[in-house]
Amino acid sequence: MNQFDLKGKIALITGASYGIGYAIAKAFHAAGAVIVFNDINQEKVDMGLASYKADGIDAHGYVFDVTDEEAVTEAIAKITKEVGTIDILVNNAGIIKRIPALEMSAKDFKQVVDIDLNGPFIVSKAVAPGMIAKGGGKIINICSMMSELGRETVSAYAAAKGGLKMLTKNLACEWGAFNIQVNGIGPGYITTPQTAPLREEGHPFNTFIVTRTPAGRWGTPEDLQGPAVFLASSASDFVNGHILYVDGGILAYLGKQPS
């Protein structure tokens, strides 16, 4: 029996028109799952549908803002009616605002926390009843190294991702009895549009990250595919409340010692 088989499962990945969510959706499809994804506007969903189609994936796309509880509830009901009950949820949608705390408005801070922390709560709460009725499910929250570490200019993001780590653990406690496993993936620094500003030619951050990562490179969205399939599959049925860091070793590393 292939413990990593997702045949017959319906997976919802939020914010998955491109980037990490898209890569995870491709891996889930390769493992046999039916792919459902969302994005915040029709233009992005249409772009995503075209990409999935080009990759031979007949994905189902839905437009909703993960912070809008009414829209999320309606969308989950629509997905359940049109596709089926969701077995696997990946709370991937997220933003970052890189602004020094002294310069950051409360409005900007709130927007990051709304999308990166409140959103996963809202979507998980909407999806869980169907999982409970079906006898179980998998929820994977895309956390971050900033669930563990801080750095200048990302206070809102680190607060949200730190909160998402604890939300993951707490929902694991509340829903474990329903055979729902709630875990997180903590990616290191990954080459997506979100980090593109940090990778611009000559940006000092590029060298900083590569020297701080034992693997000596940026991660790619594809580096997250195997860990995501593991946490979405029966191979992880006794893994609950765990954050799986996929970071090339950066969290284990104090940094290159002076020669």
Of 23, 142, 145, 182, which one interacts with ligand GCO (CB under 6 A)?
145
Q: Which does 92 bind (CB under 5 to 8 A by kind): ligand NAP, ligand GCO, none?
A: ligand NAP
Distance CA 209, CA 35 (A): 33
SS3 assignment, position 164? helix
Of 189, 212, 221, 227, which one interacts with ligand GCO (CB under 6 A)?
189
218 binds ligand GCO (CB under 6 A): no
98 binds ligand GCO (CB under 6 A): yes
Ranges within 15-54 binding ligand NAP (CB under 6 A):
15, 17-21, 38-40, 44
Q: Which does 115 bind (CB under 5 to 8 A by kind): ligand GCO, ligand NAP, none?
A: ligand NAP
Strand order, beta sheet including 180-187: 60-63, 34-39, 10-13, 88-91, 137-142, 180-187, 243-246
DSSP-based helix, strand, coil % in the chain, nearest 5: 50, 15, 35
What are the tokens at 231? 């946490």
Of 146, 156, 182, 231, which one interacts with ligand GCO (CB under 6 A)?
146
For ligand NAP, which is the closer residue by CB, 53 or 133?
A: 53
209 binds ligand GCO (CB under 6 A): no
What value, to the nearest 5°, has the Cα angle with vertex 137 and ends 91 and 116? 15
Nearest approach in angstroms of CB 190 to ligand GCO is 7
What are the tokens at 108? 């900007």
199 binds ligand GCO (CB under 6 A): no
Provide the β-strand partners of residue 10.
34
Is 157 an annotated catalytic residue?
Answer: yes
Q: In one letter, which amino acid is 123?
A: V
What residues contact 258, with CB distance under 8 A and at least 6 apart?
none
194 alpha-carbon distance from chain centroid:
13
154 binds ligand GCO (CB under 6 A): yes
Provide the β-strand partners of residue 190.
219
Of 133, 151, 170, 196, which one interacts with ligand GCO (CB under 6 A)?
151
22, 52, 62, 157: which is the annotated catalytic residue? 157
Q: What are the two backbone dihedrals, phi and then psi, of residue 182, each rounded to the nearest 5 degrees?
A: -115, 115
Binding site for ligand GCO (CB under 6 A): 96, 98, 144-146, 151, 154, 157, 187-189, 194-195, 198
Positions annotated as catalytic residues are 157
